[in-house]
Amino acid sequence: MVVRYPTQAELRRRFAYDSARGVLTYALPARGMRVGDTAGSAQCKGRVWQIQLNGPRLSAARLVWIWHNGDIPADCVVRFKDGNGLNLRIENLYLRKPVHDVTKPARQGFGFMDDRTGAHFEGFRTKAQAAQARETLRRLYAPHPDYERLA
């Protein structure tokens, strides 16, 4: 599903930006909300702020960026300088191209992460090969059965 974000003009008609708190507030009354109420709520276990507009919930960070700077290029995402997804001050937001190239197909194959070392093992053709490699590592690094008795 492709989400259509509103234009800068639409956002400025519906919302005002409170620079003291770094949030969008309602400029027009909407569904039980009064003018001046904070738009949106924290979602995803309190990690991001989202605003529901005409159906889907939208990223409040993207809306704040559009409110200030206009449209966001299709190949860019909005990030937070301090890493806090609830800090929507425009000074805290910046645009960045995704780290991965979305035009390339996803890597094929199976893999796993070793719980003890955190090392990633990838490129197995089947789940069975990945499971066999994981079991081999487990056996190689398992403590000796007589470790407690010998210590």
For the cut 60, the answer to whether the pLDDT of residue 105 exceeds it is no
How sure is the predictor about 102, in pLDDT bands with cuts at 50, 70 and 90? very low
Q: Give the position of tokens 């089947």.
A: 126
Q: What is the mean pLDDT of the chain?
A: 77
pTM of the model: 0.61
Rg of the chain (C-alpha set): 24
Percent with pLDDT over 70 in the chain:
72
The helix (run of H) or strand (run of E) holding residue 117 is none
Q: Given a cut of 50, is residue 71 above it in pLDDT?
A: yes
Distance between CA atoms of residues 69 and 64, nearest Å? 9
**Domain boundaries of the chain, sorted by first residue:** 8-96, 110-140
DSSP string over 3-21:
PPPPPHHHHHHHEEEETTT
Provide the residue type at 19 as one letter. S
The matching CATH number, chosen from 3.30.160, 1.10.10, 1.10.3470, 3.90.75, for 8-96 is 3.90.75
pLDDT tens, position by position, 85-99: 888 889 988 888 776
